[in-house]
Structure 1
Amino acid sequence: MLPSVERISVSPVFIGRGSEMAALTQALQRADGGQPQVLLIGGEAGVGKTRLLEEFQHAAEARGASVAVGGCLEIGAEGLPYAPFATVLRRLHRGELGPGLELAAVGRESSLARLLPDMLPDMSDAPAESHDEYARARLFDHTAQLFEQLTAERTLVLAVEDLHWSDRSTRELFAFLVRTLHRARLVLLGTYRTDDLHRRHPVRPYLAELERLRTVQRLELPRLAQREVARQLAGILSPSRPSAELVQKIFRRSEGNPFFVEELAVSHQQGCSTGLTDSLRDLLLVRMEALPEETQTMLRVLAAGGSRVEHGLLAAVLESAGVLDEDELIDALRTAVGANIIQPTSDGDGYRFRHALVREAVSDDLMPGECTRINRRYAMALEADPPLVSADQRSARLAGYWYCAHDAARAVPAVLNAGREARRRNAFAEQLRMLDRALELWDDVPDEVRATLRDYDRADESYPSCSCDHDDCGADCGAIQLIDLLAEATVAARLSGETDRGLRYTKRALRLLDEQRTPERAAWFRLARARALRYDRGSRPHEDLQGALELLEGRKPSAVLAELLHRQAADGMLSAPRREHLDTARRAAEIAEQVGATSVLLHARLTLGVLHCAFGELETGAALLAEVQEQAEASDDMDLRSRVYTNLSSHHELQGRSRRAIEVARTGLAVIRANGMAGYAGTIILGNLAEPLISLGELDEAAQLLAEEPDWSGQRAHRDFMERLRGEIAYLRGDLVTATEHLAEARRPGTVWQPQKYLPVTLLAMRIAAAQGRYADARAELLTLLEAGRAEGHDRSWWALLATAAGVEADARHLPTMAAGRAEILARIREVAAGLAQGVPLYEGWSAVLTAELARAEGTAGVADWRRAADALSQLECPFPRDLALLRLAEAYAATGEKAAASAAARESAALACRHGDQLMQRELRSLAERARLSLDAAASEAGPEPDDTFQDAFHLTPRERDVLKLLALGRTNRQIAEELFISPKTASVHVSNILAKLEVTGRGEAAAVAHRLRLVPAG
C-alpha cells in the first residue's frame, strides 16, 4: 500500500543561487550574440551543483536553447574515454536536433565514429578511420566543427558533470573546445566536486590552467545561509512551517549543505530528530571505510575530540593509548587530508573534519565504552598539559571531555568553572549548557566533592546569598547547593532567550523551597517566574508578584524587595502607566541604594526616567536617561545596557527624532549581538531600528533587517512587533494583501496585548481598512479602543490614531451608511485628544492635523487649517504626516480655484511621499492632479500655463467630460462630482448635460450603461 502522505526530501522551491543563476543567464545572453561561454561550477558534494544545472536548463530551454548534459563515470572512467561527450551527442541526436546532427556529421563520419558509434545511419558505409598519429587531432577538430555547425541556427548548452571523475581524453577534448570555438553560439559548462580534488588530483592543475583563459568563468557554490535553509525546509515540510528551533538545529548540523538539509528534514519527518538515518550515516562513512585501518583509528579519536583538535592534543591522546607514534600519526593525517575527509584548521595548529556531519557520523559509530575511554584520555591529557589548548577554550573543552567521560565528580567542578567563564564573556547560551550539565550530574556527585564547590560568582545580585534567610544564621552557607544552580540557570535562560527552560527551573526550585523558612529565595523565584510569564497571555504573573511581596512583608529591606518593586513599576510602564508607578520606581531605587544593589538601582532609575517621559515630563526624564546611559556604558551589566539601548531608541522615535533613534538602535544591536544577548533583547532592538528606518522612508534596509530576524532566536513576545513592521512596509508599498496577512499574524492568539503593541497594530488596521474603502471597519477599530479606555503614556500613537480616525470620517462624509453616529464619533475623538500631551513638536504637528481632519469631516476645513498643519510639521525629520497635510492643502487650494498654489503643495507632498516610499499617497496625488488639472512636474509648471484640452474621442468628449463621465458612471451626484473635481455644482451640471447630448442618451443611468459597454471609462 502507498503511504497516505508522501514525504518529499527535495525542496520544490529553488533556494538561493541568485548570483550564480544571474551569471549563467548573462552567459547565455552573450552566447546568443555569438560569443561562446565557458563556466566551471565547483562545490562540495551535496551543495547543489546539479540542482543549479537543472534550473538553468529549464531557463535556457524556455529561451529557445537546446541543452544536453553528460556525466563522467566514477567506475571504469579510464576505460570509457569521451563518455560525457558521447552522452551529450546521443541526447542531441535523439532530440529535435537529430536531423541536423546527421547532416553536420557528413564528411566527418570516420573520426566521429569514436563518439557516435550507433547513431549515424550511414556509418557502416563510411571509410574506416585510420589510427595514425593524426586521428586524435581529427576527432577533436571534427567535433569542434560539428558544434560550430549545430550552433549556426540556435544556441546550444553543453554540460559535462563531475569533471573530478573525468578521464584524460575527456579533459583534453573539453579543453580543445574551450580554446578553439570562438564564433559558436555555445555555452559549455563543467561541474566538479571541490572536496574530491585532493592535492595530487589531476583535475586540480587542469582547472587552474583553464581558468587562466579569458573566456572561462569559474563559480564556486557556497553553502546556504540560515535564512535560505529556512526557506528550503519550508518547501520540504510544506504545508507545515518549520519552527525557528528546527531551522537553527538543522542549519547547525548541516552547515548549510542543501543535500544534508534534505536528509535531516527526512530524518525529522521520520521522527529521527537526534541522530542520523542509517542511509545518511552509511553515505557519510563510505569514504572513510576505504582508508587504512591506522587512518580510521586516528579519525575516530579525532571525531571524539570535538569540532577541531590541536595537533599536540591529538598526538598526546594517541600516544597515551599506545596506538600511533608521531610518524604513524603524520602518515595517517596526510592520508586523511589527501582524501579530503579532514583539513588543517585555519590557524594551522590542528585539524577538523571538512563537514560536521561526517564527524557526527564517525562519532556516532563509536562504541559507548570506546567513546567514554577516548574522552577520558582527552581530559587527562589536557589536565596534564593545559597549554595544549588555547586559554579561551581550555575550561569549556575540559568540561566537555569530563562530561562525555561520564565522571560526575570531575565533570561538575569543570562545567561550573566553564559556566563562570562563559558568563564573564556574556556567552549566556554556553553558560546555560554548562549549568544544564551540572544539574544533570548533580545527584551523582559525592558529598565530599559538593562541599568543595564554593564561591560561585552570582549573576543576579538580588539573589539571596544564604539559603536560610535568617539574621542569626550560623550555618556554613558558602557551599553551592542545588537551589543555587537553579537560580543561575534561571538567569542564564532568561538572558539567552530560553523562556520555557527558565520556567522549568523556577518550577523545580519552588517545589524544593520551604517558603516560610526561605522567604527571600522563594520570593526571588516567584519574581523570576513572573518575568518569564509577563508576555504570555492567559498567565497570571501579577499573582506571582503579589505573592512574592506578601512573603517579604515586615522584613528588612533587601535586593529582592527592591527588584520586586522595580518589576511592578516596569510592568506598569509597559502596560498602563499611572502616577503610582513613579512612586514605586522611586522606592525601588531608594531600597536598592540602601542595600548596595547597584544593578537594581540603575534599572529602577532607567524605568523612572522612561515613566517621567511617558507623563510628558521630558526634561526630568531625559536627564535621568542620560545619567543611567553613562553609568551603564561603564558597567559590564549587559542586561542593563540592552534595556538602555532599547528604551532610548524607542524614546527618540516617539519624540520624532528618528535619526537619533537609528544611531542608538544600531549601536545597541551591535552590542547585543556581540555579547550573546540576541535571544533576550535582539528581536526588540532590531524592531527599534527598523521602525525609524520606516519613518524616514528607508524601506529596503528595514525590510532586509526584518528578513534577517529569524536567523537568531528572539523573544516570541515580540514577533507581533516584527509582523506589524512588515505590514507597515507592505502598506507603504501599496501591497494591501500582504499588509493584511502581516496584520493577521500580528494579531494571532497569544499575542501580548499591551498598549505599546496594540495601539500601533490598530492604527495599521485602520489605515488598511481605509485604503480598501472599508470605512465602517476602520471606525469599528477605533470604537474598540475607546471602549477599553485610554492608557496614559502612549500619546504619539493616540495622536496618529485619532487623526486617522477623523480622516476616515472625512473620507466617508458622503456615504449614507456612515452618517449615523458620526457626530458622536467626532465628539469622542475631541474628548480623548483634550487629554493628550502637546509639548513635543511631533505631537503639536499631529494636533494640527487632527484639528484640520475634524474640520474636513464636518465640511468646514479650509486652506488655513491645512497650512497651519503643514507649517507645524515643517521642522520634523520624517516625511509623514507632513506629506498628508500638504496633500490636503493641495486639495483645499484646488477647491478655491488656486491651481498654482495647489500644484506647488501637491509637488511638495509628492516629493515627501516618494522619500517615504508611500505608494498609496503617491497614487492619491496622481489622482488629485488628474481630477484638479494640477501639474506635479515643476519644469512644466514653470514653462507656462497648461494648454487647453483639445483631445476628442469618437463621441467628441473632452478630457474633463471624460472625468465627469467616470464619476457619473459610479453613481455620483452633481454635487459630489463637483467636490471631487474641484469645480462648482453648476459647472458639473453643464458637463453632465453635454455628455448626455453627445452620447445621445436621455438619462444618467443610460449614460453610465453606454460608458461601461463602450469602455469609455476604466472598468474598475
Structure 2
Amino acid sequence: MLAPVETRSVSPVFVGRADELHTLNDALSRAAAGEPQALLIGGEAGVGKTRLVEEFTAAAHRGGAVVALGGCVEIGADGLPFAPFSTALRALRRALPDELATAAAGQEEELARLLPELRETAPGRRHDEEGMARLFELTARLLERVAAERTVVVALEDLHWADASTRHLLSYLLRTLRTGRLVVLATYRADDIHRRHPLRPLLAELDRLRTVQRLELARFTRDEVCRQVAGILAAEPDSVQVDDIFERSDGNAFFVEELAVAAHEGCCTGLTDTLRDLLLVRVEALPESAQKVARIIAEGGSTVEYRLLDAVARLAEDDLIEALRAAVGANILLTTSDGDGYRFRHSLVREAVSDDLLPGERARLNRRYAEALQADPTLVPADERVMRLASYWYHAHDPAKALPAVLDASVEARSRRAYSEQLRLLERAMELWETVPEDIRAALRPVDYTEAYPPCGCDPATTPLRYLDLMAEAAVAGRYCGERERALKITKRALRLLEDEDDPLRSAWFWVQRSRLTHSLGRGGGREELARAEDLLRGLPPNEVHAELLTHIACWSLVHVPGPEAYGAAERAVEYARLVGARETELDARQVLGVLMVDAGHIEAGLAELHEVREQALAEDTPSVALNAYVNLPSELEGIGRSREAVPILEEGLAFAKRHGPPDAEAWVWGNLAESLLSLGRWDEADRACAAAGRVGQGVAVRGFHATLLAELALARGDLAEADRQLVAAQGFFGSHEHAPQNHLPLARLAIGLAAAQGRPLDARAHLARAHDRDFRPGTQRYAWPLLLAAASAEGDARATPAADPGRADLLDRIRAAARRLATIAPVWQAHERWVRAELLRAEGRTDPEDWAEVVAAFECLERPYDLARTRHRLAEALLSVGGDDERDRAAELLRLVHAVAAHLGARPLTEAVTLLGRRARLSLTPAAGPPDTPADPTDPLATLGLTSRERDVLRLVSAGRTNRQIAEVLFISPKTASVHVSNILSKLDVSGRGEAAAVAHRLGLFPPGVEERLIAR
C-alpha cells in the first residue's frame, strides 16, 4: 500500500499558480511575436518555483519552443563561474546544433569560455577589463541570433547560488536584449536573500528595468494544500489531517509533501517543528547504505556524476546501485537530465544532510572527492574540473594541496573572464598562504599564476611566487570586475607590507593602482598617489612601470591641468614606452599626446595621430586602446566644431563597444554621439542617445556627463525644472572630479544659464565668480569659451535690471581678460571669440549690426544651427535698433528664419524671444512672397514655393554647391545679402540646411543640367 505513495510524494496535480502561469504564457506569446521577454521568479525554499518552471517549460516544449535549462551549481559554498549559462548553451547546442554553430561563427574562441565544446581557447591571450564585457555582448547576441527563427526559453534556476560572473552576465543580458523570440527566466530563493546577499543589489537593479517582470510565489492556501495532499495520496484527505498539515507546513509546498508522506506512513518518530528534523526524517528512514550515499552526494555539490560517486563511495557496484535505487525510490534523490549523475530532489534536504555531517567526516569526504578527481580527471566535465578540485581540496583542510589547486582555479576563472571568481579564489589563496609549507610555496612561479605581475627586474619564470604577486593579481581582478573597494583594500595592504622592503618598482606599481582606484571611486583625482610613485622611480633606469606611470600622469594632467606640462608628460610617456617596448602603453600615451596636440593648436597633426592610434589598435587587437580612441577622436572633432565628421566614427565605435567594451565604454560613446547630435541640431536623436547612455552607464563620471547633456538639452528647450534636476545630479555624480575643467566648466556654464533663465542675474554672476583664473588656462578653450559666452549673455540680458548694475564693469573686464588667454585657432573658437566680444558690447549698451554680422558670418561656416539661429536673432535685434527700412526688411527675414529653426528644434525660449521681438517691432514672422521681380507662371513649381526670381537664382547656385561668397560674385551682390537670401530660401522651403534645399530642388526637377552655366554666363 505504501510503495505507490512513497514514489509519489510530488503531487501529479499541478496546484494553484494560475496567475503566474498566465503571466509566463503571455510572455511566451510576446516572445513568439519577436519581443524578447525576461522574468524573475522568487519565493522561499520549497514554495514551488521549480514545479512552476517545469509545468511552463513542458507546455512551451509541446508548443514547439526550444527549452534550455541551466542551474546554478553549488560546491560547498562556491558557485561555478557561468555554470547555468554553460548548461543552457549546451542544451541549445544539442537541440539546435546547426543554428548555434551559425550564430557562433567567427566568435568560437571567446564563446568557448562558456561552452568549451565550441573550440579550445588560445593560451596566452591578454586579459583586460573589456574582455568580460566582450564575452557578455557575444553571449547576448548569440542568444538573439539563435532565437531569430525559433522561440527559445532559457530557464536559469537557483540564482541565489549564482557566482558573481553569472549575475553580471544575467544583468547584462536582461538590460541589452533587443530582438529575438527569446524568453529568459530565472528563479531564486527569496528567504536566502539577506541584506548582504550579493544577489540583492542585482534584484534591485533589475526591478528598475521596465523590460523585466518579477513574480513572487506565495505559499499555498488551505484549499490548495488540500488539493495537493489529495494528489499525493490519490484520495480525498481527512479534514483534520489537512488542517494539521496546513498549520505545520504554513502552506510551503515542499513541507506539505514531506508531512503528507510522513503522516501516511504512520511515522511515530516524534517529528518536531524544526526544519532540520523535518527534512532529515525520511533520509533517516532509508537503509544505512542509502544514507551513506546521500551523505556523500550532499558534500559533493549540487550534482554528482555516477563515476565520481562510485570512486568516492568505495562500495561494490551492486551495493551502490541498490543504495541509489532506495534513495531515488524514496524521492530523496533524482537522476540528472542527461542521466549521468544524481542530485537531491530538493536543495533543502541536501543542506540538512550536509549540515548533519561531523567536521572530520566532511573533511574526509572532500579529500576522497579530491583524490578521486585528481587520479581520474575525466570523472567530471572538463569545464568544471579545476574549480571543483580547488573546492574539494580547500574543504578537505589540506593547505599544501589546496593552494596550487586554488591558484589553478584562479587562472581558469581569469581565462573565462570570470574576474569576480578570480578575485575570490585569489583571496582564498592569500588566506592559505601562511599555512602552506615553504618548500611548496617555493615551487610556485608567478608566470604560471599571475598576469598583472609588476616588472621588478626578476624573471617570473624562475623567481618564486610571492604573496605580493597574489595581491597584485587580486587588485587588477578587483578593478576588472568592479569590486574596486576590495581592490583598494588589497592595494593599501600591499603598500603597508612594502614599507619594510626595498622594492621601488613594485611599490610604484601599487601606487599607480591605488591612484586608478581612488580616481574611479570618486575619492580624489589620484595625483598624490602618482606623485608617490614618481618619487620612488626617480633615478631608476627606464622600465615598464615608469612608462605606465608617465602615461597616467599625462592623462591626469590632460583632464585636470591641460597645457604645456601635460604635453611634456605625454611626450615623455611615449618616449619611455618605446624605449622599453611596452607597445600598449605606447599607444595609450600617443593617444593622450594626440588630444593635447589638438588642444594646443596642432589640429591636423593631432587628429592624424589619433586616427593612426585607432587603426593600429584595431590591427594589433588591443581593444582597450581602440575603445579609448573611439571616445577621444570624435570628442576632439566635436571640440573643434567638426561634429559631422565625428558622427560616423561614433556610430562605428558603438558597434565596436557593444562587441568589445564594458558598459561604461559604450555609455561614453553614446554620450559623445549625443553631444555631436546636439551641435548638429538633431535634438530628438540626441535625446535618444542620452537615454541609451543612461541605460548602460554605471560609473559616476559617465553618469555625470550624461546628466550634463540632459541638463543642456532641457535648458535649451525651456524645461528649467528638469535642467535644474539634471544639473544637481551631475554635480553629485562628479563629486571630487568636479574640479576638472572638462567637468567643472560645463557645470558652471549650465548654472549661469539656468540662473539667467530664471531671472537671477546676481546668482549667475556668483557662479562665474567661483570660476578661478586657472580654469581659463591654455587647453581649456573648448569648455571655457561657452562659459564666458553664457556669462556675457547673462550680463547683456540683465543690463536693464538695476540690481545687477553694481560691479558689472569689473565683471565684464574680467570676462575680457579671460578671453584674451584662450586660443582661437579653430574656426569654432574664433566664432565664439567674436560672439563673446559682441555680447560684452551689448552688455555695455553698444550694439552694432556690423559686429553681429561678423558673428553670423562666422557661424554660417559651421554646422551649428542652434548657435546660428541665436546669433541671427541678435543681428536682427541690432538691425531693428538702427531703424531703417532696409534694416527692418533684413531683420524680418532673419527673424522668420530663426523662428522656423527654433520651432523645428523645440527651443521654446528662443521661439518666445523671437516672437516677442517681432511683436514689438510689428513684424510678421510668416514668410511673404511679395511682388515678384518678373511675372510668375502659376504652373511653375518655383512660384508655388513663393520664391522671388532673385531667390530662384540663389537656389540654383546653392543646388550647384556654391558658397555665399561665390553666389555674391556671380550675382553681383554682397556676401551678406547672399546669406540673407539663402536664409529666406531655407525658411520658405521649410528645411534646415543648404543640402536639404538642394535635395528639394533636385526632387522637384527645378533646374535641368546646364542651368548654372547659363546663369553664370548671363
**TM-score normalised to structure 1 length:** 0.59
Matches of 1:823 and 1:665, distance apart in 2: 43
- Alpha-carbon distance, 1:602 to partner: 2.2
Range with greater deviation from structure 2 (728-737 or 566-575) = 728-737
Rounded Cα–Cα distance in structure 2 between residues aligned with 1:281 and 1:701: 54
**Distance of 2:433 and 2:542 partners within structure 1:** 33
> 2:95 maps to what in 1?
none
Take 1:197 and 1:406, find their aligned partners in 2: how far apart are those partners?
42
Give distance in 1, aligned partners of 2:928 and 2:198.
Answer: 53
The CA deviation at 1:545 is 2.8
> What CA distance in whole angstroms lies between the structure 2 residues aligned with 1:284 and 1:414?
40
Does the alignment pair 1:805 with 2:761? no
Matches within 5 A, 1:724-803: 724-748=708-732, 750-803=736-789
Tell me, yes or no, if the aligned pair for 1:303 and 1:359 is still in contact at 8 Å.
no
The answer to whether structure 1 residue 595 and structure 2 residue 595 are counterparts is no
C-alpha contact 1:281 1:361 (8 A) present in aligned 2: no
Contact 1:386 1:394 in 2 (8 A): yes
Q: CA 1:753 to 1:553, structure 2 compared with 1: closer, same or farther past 3 Å?
A: same
What is the rounded CA distance, in whole Å, between the counterparts of 1:423 and 1:548 in structure 2?
28
- Specify whether residues 44 and 627 from structure 1 end up closer, same or farther in structure 2 by C-alpha distance, changes over 3 A only: closer
Q: Distance in 1 between matches of 2:834 and 2:631?
A: 30
Aligned-partner Cα distance in 2 for 1:812–1:352: 77
TM alignment of 1:356-371, pairs within 5 A:
366-367=354-355, 369=357
Counterpart-to-counterpart distance in 1, 2:249 and 2:650: 44
Distance in 2, Cα, partners of 1:715 & 1:564: 23
State which drifts further: 826-835 or 701-710. 701-710
Unpaired segments of 5 or more residues in structure 1? 1-16, 25-40, 48-74, 76-161, 165-191, 206-217, 231-235, 264-278, 468-472, 946-1020
Counterpart of 1:518 in structure 2 is 503
Distance 2:927 2:343 in 1: 65
Q: Which amino acid aligns with 1:918?
A: A
Amino acid paired to 2:707: E
Q: Aligned partners of 2:825, 2:615: CA distance in 1, in Å?
A: 26
C-alpha distance after superposition, 1:644-686 (max 9, x if no partner): 333223222212333544444455555556456446x565455
- 1:887 pairs with 2:873: yes
SS at match of 1:258: strand
- Closer, same or farther: CA 768–221 of 1 in aligned 2, 3 Å: farther
Alpha-carbon distance, 1:826 to partner: 2.3
Instruction: Report what 1:197 is aligned to.
Output: 55
C-alpha change, 1:303 and 1:672, in structure 2 (3 Å) is: farther
Aligned pair in 2 of structure 1 residues 815, 901: CA closer, same or farther (>3 Å)? same
Aligned-pair CA distance for 1:484: 0.6
CA positional deviation for 1:529: 1.7
Mapped to 1, the partners of 2:203 and 2:680 lie a distance apart of: 37
Shift of residue 450 of structure 1?
A: 2.2
Give the direction of change, closer, same or farther, for the CA distance of 1:893–1:578 in structure 2 (3 Å limit).
Answer: closer
Query: Cα deviations across residues 539-567 of structure 1 (Å, max 9, x unaligned)?
Result: 58444333333323332222222222332
Aligned mates of 1:890, 1:333 — CA distance in 2: 91
CA contact (8 A) 1:461 1:599 kept: no
Match of 2:625 in 1: 640
Contact 2:452 2:476 (8 Å CA) reproduced: no
Kindly indicate whether the alpha-carbon contact (under 8 Å) linking 1:870 and 1:886 is maintained by their aligned counterparts in 2: yes
SS at match of 2:776: coil
Percent identical among aligned pairs is: 36
CA distance, structure 1, for counterparts of residue 327 and residue 870 of structure 2 = 75
The 1:625/1:328 distance shift into structure 2, 3 A limit, reads: same
Matched, 1:688 2:672: yes
Q: Using a 3 Å threshold, how does the CA distance of structure 1 residues 936 and 594 change in structure 2: closer, same or farther?
A: same
In 2, Cα distance between equivalents of 1:303 and 1:894: 89
Q: 1:979 corresponds to which residue? A: none
Q: Is the 1:610–1:647 Cα contact (8 Å) retained in structure 2?
A: yes
Paired residues for 1:271-420 under 5 Å: 283=252, 286=255, 313=305, 316-317=308-309, 320-321=312-313, 325=321, 366-367=354-355, 369=357, 395-396=386-387, 399=390, 408-420=399-411
Query: Which of the numbers 590, 609, 612 marks the counterpart of 1:605?
Result: 590
CA shift for structure 1 position 808: 0.9
2:422 to 419, 431, 436: 431
Q: 1: CA distance between counterparts of 2:516 and 2:614?
A: 23
Q: 1:193 to 1:794 in 2, by over 3 A?
A: farther
> Are residues 696 and 202 of structure 1, via their aligned partners in 2, closer, same or farther at CA, if it must alter by over 3 Å?
closer
Distance change in 2, residues 1:368/1:785 (3 Å):
farther
Are the counterparts in 1 of residues 597 and 603 from structure 2 also a CA contact under 8 Å? Answer: yes
2:710 partner amino acid: R
Q: Distance in 2 between matches of 1:42 and 1:476?
A: 48
Partner of 1:880, secondary structure, is: helix
> In 2, Cα distance between the equivalents of 1:351 and 1:693?
58
Q: Which residue of 1 aligns with 2:810?
A: 824
Matches within 5 A, 1:219-230: none
Matches of 2:537 and 2:646, distance apart in 1: 40
CA RMSD, 1 decimal = 5.6
> Structure 1 residue 756: deviation in Å?
1.0
Change (3 A) 1:782 1:431: same
Tell me the equivalent position of 2:231.
none
- The aligned runs of 1:463-482 (5 Å cut-off) are 463-466=454-457, 478-482=463-467
Kindly tell me: are residues 823 and 43 of structure 1, through their superposed partners in 2, closer, same or farther at Cα, counting changes over 3 Å? closer
**Equivalent position amino acid for 2:838 in 1:** A
| Shift, 1:851, TM fit | 3.0
Give the Cα separation in 2 of the matches to 1:699 and 1:786: 32
- In structure 2, C-alpha distance between the alignment counterparts of 1:672 and 1:429, rounded to whole Å: 21
Alpha-carbon offset, residue 616 of structure 1: 1.5
Taking a change above 3 Å as real, the CA distance of residues 397 and 538 of structure 1, as seen in their structure-2 partners, is closer
Q: Is the 8 A contact 2:408 2:449 kept in 1?
A: no
Residue 485 of structure 1 is matched in structure 2 by: 470
Provide, for residues 800-824 of structure 1, a one-character-per-residue CA deviation record: whole Å limited to 9, x for no partner.
1111211111111111122222232
Counterpart Cα distance in 2 of 1:261 and 1:858: 71
What is the 5 A alignment of 1:777-926?
Answer: 777-895=763-881, 896=883, 901-914=890-903, 916-926=905-915
CA shift at 1:717, angstroms? 4.6
- Taking structure 2 as the reference length, what is the TM-score of the superposition? 0.59
AA in 2 matched with 1:605? R
Question: By how many angstroms is 1:783 displaced?
Answer: 2.0
- Which one-letter code corresponds to 1:725 in the other structure? L
Q: What letter corresponds to residue 578 of structure 1 in structure 2?
A: G
Deviation at 1:765, TM superposition (A): 0.8
Query: 2:771 aligns to what SS in structure 1?
Result: helix
SS of the residue corresponding to residue 745 of structure 1 reads helix
Q: Secondary structure at the match of 2:865?
A: coil
Quick one: structure 1 residues 922 and 572, their matched pair in 2 at CA, closer, same or farther if it must change by over 3 Å? Answer: same
Could you say if the C-alpha distance between residues 908 and 352 of structure 1 is closer, same or farther in structure 2, counting changes exceeding 3 Å?
Answer: farther
Show CA shifts across 1:438-491 (max 9, x none). Answer: 223333434343233224368777822457xxxxx9x99522111011111222
Which whole-Å deviations, capped at 9, do the CAs of 1:895-936 have from their partners, x for residues lacking one? 446555444433433444355443333343444444444455
| Equivalence for 2:441 | 450
Cα gap change, 1:460 to 1:526, in 2 (>3 Å): farther
User: 2-side partners of 1:371 and 1:539: how far apart?
Assistant: 48
Inter-partner Cα distance in structure 2 for 1:833 and 1:334: 85
Q: CA deviation at 1:795?
A: 0.9
- Paired residue total: 721
Q: Deviations over 1:404-428 (max 9, x none)?
A: 6665444433443343344456554
Query: 1:44·1:194 contact (CA, 8 Å) conserved in 2?
Result: no
Confirm or deny that 1:570 pairs with 2:570: no
Distance 2:598 2:755 in 1: 32
Q: Secondary structure at the match of 2:860?
A: coil
Counterpart code for 1:714: Q
Alignment match, 1:626:
611
SS in 1 for 2:866: coil
Letter in 1 for 2:856: A
Cα distance change of structure 1 residues 632 and 314 upon mapping to structure 2, 3 Å threshold? farther
